[in-house]
């Protein structure tokens, strides 16, 4: 089944404790992206990647890191989480280009930083 | 500024009734417009994608319209079911001529509740 998977689905952590949220897709998509979703706001892009070893900042990259060492994986790293990073996080992937490509979303990771 | 605005913010309808959700955008240059359905606690799932030249597209009981001149779109849901209860998100793609891919601009969504 074609899908985007994220782990963990739920995470409660404390301020300053490094964490990684994994994202994996099995559709051979070049493009992968991380979003956060907060009440009253639309999804906001954190980072995106257009291929292996190619990553770039989205609209809200502060406090986050990513890596793309393999085409299928795009982990999101919070080196020193803070309470304002409490949010619902989504990973997404798609084929790349100027065409109208479907973007597939993962199930989400709900992160709480205390 | 590239923006997508949706109305209403929330809506309650009775099962079996029809409803229409609105989306206005100021994104330019425009590539396409998408409607997503997001169930509570889950990732968005695509309903329709329309390019500049398309003014209507259907997916079962969902019908989206696009007026590129007025920069407005609507999503019409026919004969609503309890399973239609979700957030519906309008997303406009900002054409990026200089890059290899385009940028998605998300609306904040309309929360629909279908009651029996």
H, E, C per residue of A17-39: CCEEEEEEECCCCCEEEEEEECC
- Are the CB atoms for A38 and A110 separated by under 8 Å? no
pLDDT single digits (tens) A7-25: 999 999 999 999 999 999 9
pLDDT (0 to 100) of residue B116: 96
Instruction: Write the DSSP string, A59-98.
Output: S--TT-EE--SSTTB--EEESS--GGG-EEEEEEEE--SS
pLDDT (0 to 100) of residue B97: 54
Pick from B1, B9, B27, B43 the residue to mutate for testing the A interface (most A CBs within 10 Å).
B43
Of the candidates B51, B74, B75, B73, which has an alpha carbon nearest to the alpha carbon of residue B62? B75
pLDDT single digits (tens) B60-105: 999 999 999 999 999 999 999 999 999 999 999 887 655 556 678 8
In Å, what is the CA distance from A77 to each residue of A68, A108, B99? Answer: 12, 15, 25
Q: Considering chain B, what percentage of its residues have pLDDT values greater than 90?
A: 76
A101 falls in which pLDDT band (50, 70, 90)?
confident
Mean pLDDT of chain B: 92
Q: Phi, psi at residue A65, to the nearest 5°? A: -135, 155
Of the candidates B92, B86, B90, B87, which has an alpha carbon nearest to the alpha carbon of residue B105? B92
Closest residue in B to A98 (Cα–Cα): B101
Q: Above 70 in pLDDT, residue B52?
A: yes
Contact A41 B108 (CB under 8 A): yes
Of the candidates A55, A56, A43, A54, which has an alpha carbon nearest to the alpha carbon of residue A90? A43
CA dist., res. B49 & res. A27, Å (int): 20
Q: Above 80 in pLDDT, residue A99?
A: no
pLDDT single digits (tens) A34-92: 999 998 888 999 999 988 998 989 989 999 999 999 999 999 999 999 999 999 999 99
pLDDT (0 to 100) of residue B99: 53
pLDDT (0 to 100) of residue B103: 79
A1 falls in which pLDDT band (50, 70, 90)?
confident
**Chain B nearest C-alpha distance from A105 (Å):** 5
pLDDT (0 to 100) of residue B41: 85
B33 to chain A, any CB pair closer than 8 A? The answer is no
**Chain B nearest C-alpha distance from A98 (Å):** 6
Q: Which of A41, A43, A102 sits opposite B46 (nearest CB)?
A: A102
**Chain B nearest C-alpha distance from A82 (Å):** 22
pLDDT (0 to 100) of residue B93: 87
């Amino acid at each position: 089944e074609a899908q985007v998977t994220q782990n963990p689905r739920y995470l409660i952590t404390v301020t300053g404790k490094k964490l990684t949220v994994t994202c994996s897709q099995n559709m051979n998509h070049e493009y992968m992206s991380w979003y956060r979703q907060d009440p009253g706001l639309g999804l906001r892009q954190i980072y995106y990647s257009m291929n292996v070893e190619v990553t770039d900042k989205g609209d809200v990259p502060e406090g986050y890191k990513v890596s793309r060492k393999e085409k299928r994986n795009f982990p999101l790293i919070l080196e020193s989480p803070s309470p304002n990073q409490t949010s619902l996080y989504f990973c997404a992937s798609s084929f790349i280009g100027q065409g109208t490509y479907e973007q597939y979303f993962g199930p989400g990771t709900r992160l709480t930083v205390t | 500024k590239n923006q997508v605005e949706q109305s209403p913010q929330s809506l309650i309808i009775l099962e079996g009734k029809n409803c229409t959700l609105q989306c206005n955008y100021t994104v330019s240059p425009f590539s396409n417009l998408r409607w997503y359905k997001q169930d509570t606690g889950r990732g968005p799932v695509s309903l329709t994608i329309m390019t500049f030249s398309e003014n209507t597209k259907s997916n079962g009981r969902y019908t989206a319209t696009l007026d590129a001149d007025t920069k407005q779109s609507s999503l019409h849901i026919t004969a609503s079911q309890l399973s239609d209860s979700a957030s519906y998100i309008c997303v406009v793609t900002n054409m990026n001529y200089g890059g290899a891919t385009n940028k998605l601009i998300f609306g904040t969504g309309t929360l629909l509740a279908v009651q029996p």
